[in-house]
């Protein structure tokens, strides 16, 4: 078996996929349109992210989340600021004085994700 996709339930598949497309710097599938019940982001490595519109709202903390790190040339701090400019909100700041730790953000629909330091920042 292999992992086919990472699927994220959401209220508005196209809108949330657009946020993640901008966050990750990879385009939506060219066939996806506003109002579609699903949207897809194909990543250069690994399975795609698939966003599926569902009627029920998110009510509790995620049991699975994504961890992101800055590519070389950027830092965790610049990426956190960029993601917040895109619409993410701060959930919890777990950064330590020595530079370790992470930042927990929420996407526009409230799904938690973390931003950690990249290997180039250690």
SS3 string of the chain? CCCCCEEEEECCHHHHHHHHHHHHCCCECCCCCCCCCEEEECCCCCCCEEEEECCCCCCCCCCCCEEEECCCCCCHHHHHHHHHHHCCEEEEECCCCCCCCEEEEECCCCCEEEEECCHHHC
Mean pLDDT of 49-59: 95
Whether the per-residue pLDDT at 122 is higher than 90: the answer is: no
> What is the reported pTM?
0.94
CATH code linked to domain 6-53: 3.30.720
**Which tens digits make up the pLDDT trace of 106-117?**
999 999 999 999
Domains 6-53 and 66-121 share a fold: no
Domain boundaries, the chain: 6-53, 66-121
Mean pLDDT of 56-67: 92
Q: Which CATH architecture has domain 66-121?
A: Roll (3.10)
Whether the per-residue pLDDT at 78 is higher than 90: the answer is: yes
């Amino acid at each position: 078996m292999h992992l086919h996709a990472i699927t994220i339930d959401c209220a508005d598949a196209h809108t949330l996929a657009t946020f993640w497309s901008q966050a990750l710097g990879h385009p939506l599938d060219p066939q996806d349109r506003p109002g579609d019940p699903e949207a897809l982001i194909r990543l250069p490595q690994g399975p795609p992210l698939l966003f599926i519109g569902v009627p029920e709202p998110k009510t509790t903390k995620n049991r699975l989340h994504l961890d992101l790190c800055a590519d070389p040339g950027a830092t965790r701090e610049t990426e956190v600021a960029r993601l917040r400019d895109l619409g993410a909100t701060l959930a919890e700041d777990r950064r330590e004085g020595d530079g370790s730790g992470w930042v927990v953000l929420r996407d526009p629909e409230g799904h938690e994700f973390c931003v950690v330091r990249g290997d180039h920042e250690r």
